[in-house]
Amino acid sequence: MLKSIKIFFQVSSEPSLLITGIKVALIVGVILNLINQGNTFIRFDIIHLNFIKFILTFFVPFGVSVYSSARITLKMVVGKRAKINAKVECVSCGETKINIREGELIEECPKCGKKTNYKVIEIKE
């Protein structure tokens, strides 16, 4: 479990994912802040602005963007191309371990066939 969390944070700290998360947070955060506290902004009433709500309104879309991008990056689907260099293990049989390179087509487990379900156990540089 701890290793899975480490791998997830390793992927989610990639600069490209973080930059995308920041862009999404800026666009969606501004829109949501205008929806939630628009009257306060229009009147420039900074005293009545809820700063916790203001900050969270940017943080939530950032977190959702980075989380979903990291999950997609780590998903190893048979017949699709790998998004990272990784060592994967077949969850179905628990025996097959293979190295996959970024852009390489993910093949079925030789033992499980169509029931293949991979999980990333190590990220390769």
pLDDT in tens, 76-112: 988 999 999 999 999 888 888 999 999 999 998 888 8
Cα Dmax for the chain: 66
Q: Are residues 92 and 68 in the same domain?
A: no
The pLDDT value recorded for residue 59 is: 95
| 62 occurs within a structural domain | yes
- 103, 31, 92: which is closest to 61 by C-alpha? 31
Q: Are residues 69 and 94 in the same domain?
A: no
Q: Are residues 67 and 93 in the same domain?
A: no
Q: Are residues 6 and 30 in the same domain?
A: yes
Which CA distances in Å does 92 have to 3, 44, 60, 117, 118?
A: 19, 58, 34, 6, 8
- Total structural domains within the chain: 2
Q: Are residues 45 and 10 in the same domain?
A: yes
C-beta of residue 98 within 8 angstroms of C-beta of residue 120: no
Q: Are residues 103 and 48 in the same domain?
A: no
* Mean pLDDT score across all residues of the chain: 89
C-beta of residue 98 within 8 angstroms of C-beta of residue 87: yes
Residues of the domain holding 107: 86-123
